[in-house]
Amino acid sequence: MNLDVGTAIIAGLIAGALMEGPVYLQKAMGLPVKQNIFRTWGNLFGQRGTSGYVVGILFHQLLAAVIAIGYAVFFDLIGVESNLWLWGMVGALIHYTLAGPVVAIVPSIDPETGAVGTQGFAYRSYGALDVATSFIGHLGFGLATGIFYGLLHSNGGTGAAF
């Protein structure tokens, strides 16, 4: 399957939007999930409140598109033609392993204390629920990227995705 950057970008935008679903679903259910990558990215750009969320969402989507291009390059390098859902999950394990240290070094405002500090490797400072939620979100990103890249690719379709 040849590299298709445009399709990778679309797959990444879809996957990036879906990725944060577990976080906000748990927050809506009243579970004590502290992570908020949109707020974190907004803070990084000096934005707070609504403008921080908007900037954070846009930056997250930009990253999702770029990372999905990385997945597509990975798919091309290893020469996969089918089961991109599975290869997306393999990519997600790599993605999660690389994202963990990034989360550790990017400062965020603690939602309970308001203190600026580190979230720890893959949100470890926030607790097991946040670590698990981050892991599930990354697996979801990889799964969605693989499926949508396979479905939308010019040489793809359901046979490539599944």
Q: What is the DSSP string of the chain?
A: ----HHHHHHHHHHHHHHHTHHHHHHHHTT------HHHHHHHHTT--HHHHHHHHHHHHHHHHHHHHHHHHHHHHHHT--S-HHHHHHHHHHHHHHHHHHHHHHS-EE-TTT--EE---GGGGGG-HHHHHHHHHHHHHHHHHHHHHHHHHSTT-SHHHH-
Average pLDDT of the segment spanning 81-93:
97
Report percent pLDDT > 90 for the chain: 77
Quick check: is 100 in a domain?
yes
pTM: 0.92
Q: Give the number of domains in the chain.
A: 1
Quick check: is 25 in a domain?
yes
Quick check: is 162 in a domain?
no
Residues present in the chain in total: 162
Quick check: is 64 in a domain?
yes
The pair of structure tokens assigned to 78 is 């290893």
Quick check: is 57 in a domain?
yes
Quick check: is 17 in a domain?
yes
Quick check: is 96 in a domain?
yes
pLDDT, one tens digit per residue, over 122-146 is: 999 999 999 999 999 999 999 999 9
Quick check: is 32 in a domain?
yes
Range(s) of the domain holding residue 57: 5-157
pLDDT of residue 112: 62
pLDDT, one tens digit per residue, over 44-82 is: 898 888 998 999 999 999 999 999 999 999 999 999 999
Give the residue with greater pLDDT, 47 vs 16. 16
